[in-house]
């Protein structure tokens, strides 16, 4: 493959990259600067995109045939205020490293997704949300300031008061406005690394939604899993799990000696992509039953690792979906009429003959002013599908149902949404494109996702 003239001299290698779902692989020129000035020096002005830990499921951090700037070597901590829990760091720092360094000192990420293997830059670009979105909002709520490398080579500060338009458009902006170099984020004070939690079994979708609503008044963290094999009146049966950081006084003597203990690292891994036949209705029925049983049996006091990051215990678990990979489909639907529409969507999924699998249902609180930020008030469901023949067609049908219900799909998980549907789902697109034209008029920041959904011009 021809390398663009601009980056002939730039260190980097041609590498086949994929998102976490591995449903699309692209040969990209991966450049991994270890210093901030190198990001600017090595930027390929014919087209580039930043990449964190590659935990977006689709093509957000891919730029087929062009440059991808791997940010993970830029992981330095630049300052920490122990009084306020304010951390300034390079954008390639991972939440995993933040937890390792700061939990023993009584601090935890303010807002975290369902894996800790994400970078601060990735959390900003997707404006990620966690299990407490209904009370804590999305990642923008914990970011005070960032420095961003723009297409013209300038490095600017963006905050609520300085370049506010750029600040807000960068959350959910999928790396398409510039490279976030550093960020100042606020951490959360914790007394212990333990979690007070409970799970409740529910027998129908209506019960699921009312239990979630009731428990959201009592607990900041909540999440539900649906039994993907329940049908008819039992459709939506599953388990709701809720929790809260435990205080020191809540720990038994055996734990209070080391209240901020880190969990030991797991060495479990899926060593290679499993053959496609491994996933069949029988194995999925078994795994589904095991997942529901584990969740229903959550102990009243557990380590936060099990509550926040159950999947992180098995490295490379995505390989379990085989060579063709999988996709995660996540949407949010407004509360009004949401229950009926959720039922319709679940019925469409379950009657399609696909193999829906891991899933997470929760209630979201209000969104932010970021034009492309995903979270919005309503029900959000994320559900995995191994890639099979009919998966794409099913997702297109779901897109239409979500759009019809006034909802939207999450770009951080998406692989297939088309430009027209995306535009209809996100009314803020036009405003965001004006910001893009202002800060990156030549479309230097580009990606497979950006081109697919029409946030940048096709090449
Ligand atoms: C198991 C699992 C659970 C998850 N749970 C959740 C969840 O609960 N909530 C949620 O919101 N998401 C969730 N996600 C998705 C994940 O949090 C996001 O996709 C996140 O953005 C990934 O971060 P990353 O560092 O891997 O970024 P990547 O996937 O590498 O990149 C994501 C986007 O960020 C951009 N980007 C990365 N670094 C920079 C930078 N320095 N400057 C500018 N742009 C940059 C990229 O261009 C790309 O557009 C989950 C993912 C997994 C695998």
**C-alpha 196 – ligand 1 centre gap (Å):** 27
Work out the number of other CB atoms within 10 angstroms of the CB of residue 233.
11
What CA–CA distance (Å, rounded) separates 38 from 44? 12
**pLDDT at residue 5, as a whole number:** 61
Lowest mean pLDDT among 88-97, 139-148, 184-193, 282-291: 282-291
Ligand 1 pocket, 49 CB below 6 A? yes
What CA–CA distance (Å, rounded) separates 368 from 11? 39
Q: Is the pLDDT of residue 392 over 70?
A: yes
Instruction: Kindly state the average pLDDT of the residues 169-177.
Output: 98
**Which among 43, 110, 111, 118 is the best mutation to test ligand 1's pocket, defined by most ligand atoms within 8 Å of the CB?**
118
**pLDDT at residue 55, as a whole number:** 98
Residue 111: band (very low, low, confident or very high) from pLDDT cuts 50, 70, 90: very high
pLDDT tens across 36-88, in order?
999 999 999 999 999 999 999 999 999 999 999 999 999 999 999 999 999 99
Instruction: Kindly state the average pLDDT of the residues 117-141.
Output: 98
What CA–CA distance (Å, rounded) separates 347 from 234? 12
Question: Using CA positions, which residue lies closest to atom 11 of ligand 1?
Answer: 128
Ligand 1 pocket, 387 CB below 6 A? no
**C-alpha 370 – ligand 1 centre gap (Å):** 17
Instruction: Kindly state the average pLDDT of the residues 294-300.
Output: 78
Q: Is the pLDDT of residue 7 over 70?
A: no
Greater confidence (272 vs 453) lies with 453
User: How far are the Cα atoms of 138, 376, 446 from residue 364, in angstroms, in the given order?
Assistant: 10, 6, 30
- Mean pLDDT over all residues of the chain? 94
Q: Is the pLDDT of residue 4 over 70?
A: no
Question: Using CA positions, which residue lies closest to atom 44 of ligand 1?
Answer: 175
**C-alpha 350 – ligand 1 centre gap (Å):** 28
CA distance between the termini of the chain:
16
List, edge to edge, every strand of the sheet that includes 13-18: 13-18, 25-31, 67-70, 48-51
Q: Is the pLDDT of residue 318 over 90?
A: no
DSSP, collapsed to helix, strand or coil, labels residue 4 as coil
Q: Which atom of ligand 1 is nearest to the CA of 178?
A: 43
Q: Which atom of ligand 1 is nearest to the CA of 94?
A: 25
Strand intervals (E) in 102-210 = 107-109, 143-149, 155-159, 179-189, 194-202
DSSP, collapsed to helix, strand or coil, labels residue 220 as coil
Ligand 1 pocket, 51 CB below 6 A? yes
Residue 282: band (very low, low, confident or very high) from pLDDT cuts 50, 70, 90: confident
């Amino acid at each position: 493959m021809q390398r663009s003239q601009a980056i002939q001299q730039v260190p980097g290698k041609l590498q086949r990259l994929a998102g976490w779902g591995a449903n699309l692989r692209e040969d990209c020129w991966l450049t991994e600067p270890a210093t901030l000035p190198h990001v600017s020096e090595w930027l390929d002005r014919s087209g580039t995109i930043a990449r964190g830990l590659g935990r977006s499921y689709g093509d957000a951090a891919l730029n087929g045939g062009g440059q991808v700037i791997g940010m993970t070597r830029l992981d330095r901590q630049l300052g920490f205020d122990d009084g306020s829990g304010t951390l300034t760091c390079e954008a390639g720092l991972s939440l995993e490293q933040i937890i390792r360094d700061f939990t023993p000192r009584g601090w935890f990420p303010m807002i975290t997704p369902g894996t800790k293997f994400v970078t601060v830059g990735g959390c900003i670009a997707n404006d990620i949300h966690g299990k407490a979105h209904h009370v804590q909002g999305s990642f923008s709520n914990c970011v005070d300031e960032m420095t961003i490398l723009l297409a013209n080579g300038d490095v600017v500060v963006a905050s609520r008061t300085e370049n506010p338009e750029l600040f807000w458009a960068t959350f959910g902006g999928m790396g398409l406005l510039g490279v976030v170099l550093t960020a100042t984020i606020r951490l959360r004070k914790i007394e212990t690394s333990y979690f007070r939690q409970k799970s409740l079994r529910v027998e129908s979708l209506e019960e699921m939604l009312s239990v979630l609503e009731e428990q959201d008044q009592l607990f900041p963290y909540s999440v539900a899993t649906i039994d993907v094999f329940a049908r008819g009146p039992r459709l939506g049966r599953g388990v709701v799990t809720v929790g809260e950081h435990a205080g020191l006084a809540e720990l038994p003597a055996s734990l209070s000696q080391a209240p901020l203990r880190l969990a030991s690292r797991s060495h479990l891994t899926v060593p290679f992509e499993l053959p496609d036949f491994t996933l069949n209705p029988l194995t999925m029925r078994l795994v589904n039953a095991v997942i529901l049983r584990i969740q229903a049996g959550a102990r009243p006091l557990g380590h936060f690792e099990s509550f926040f990051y159950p999947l992180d215990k098995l490295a490379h678990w995505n390989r379990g979906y085989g060579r063709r990979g999988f996709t995660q489909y996540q949407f949010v639907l407004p509360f009004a009429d949401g229950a009926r529409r959720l039922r319709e969507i679940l019925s469409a999924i379950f009657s399609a003959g696909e193999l829906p699998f891991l899933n997470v249902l929760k209630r979201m609180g209000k969104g932010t002013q970021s034009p492309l930020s995903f979270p919005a008030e309503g029900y959000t469901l994320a559900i995995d599908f191994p890639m099979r023949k009919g998966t794409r067609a099913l997702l297109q049908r779901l897109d239409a149902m979500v759009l019809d219900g006034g909802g939207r799909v999450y770009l951080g998980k998406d692989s297939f949404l088309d430009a027209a549907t995306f535009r209809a789902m996100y009314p803020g697109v036009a405003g965001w494109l004006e910001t893009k034209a202002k800060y990156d008029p030549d479309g230097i920041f580009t990606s497979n996702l950006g081109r697919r959904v029409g946030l940048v011009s096709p090449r």
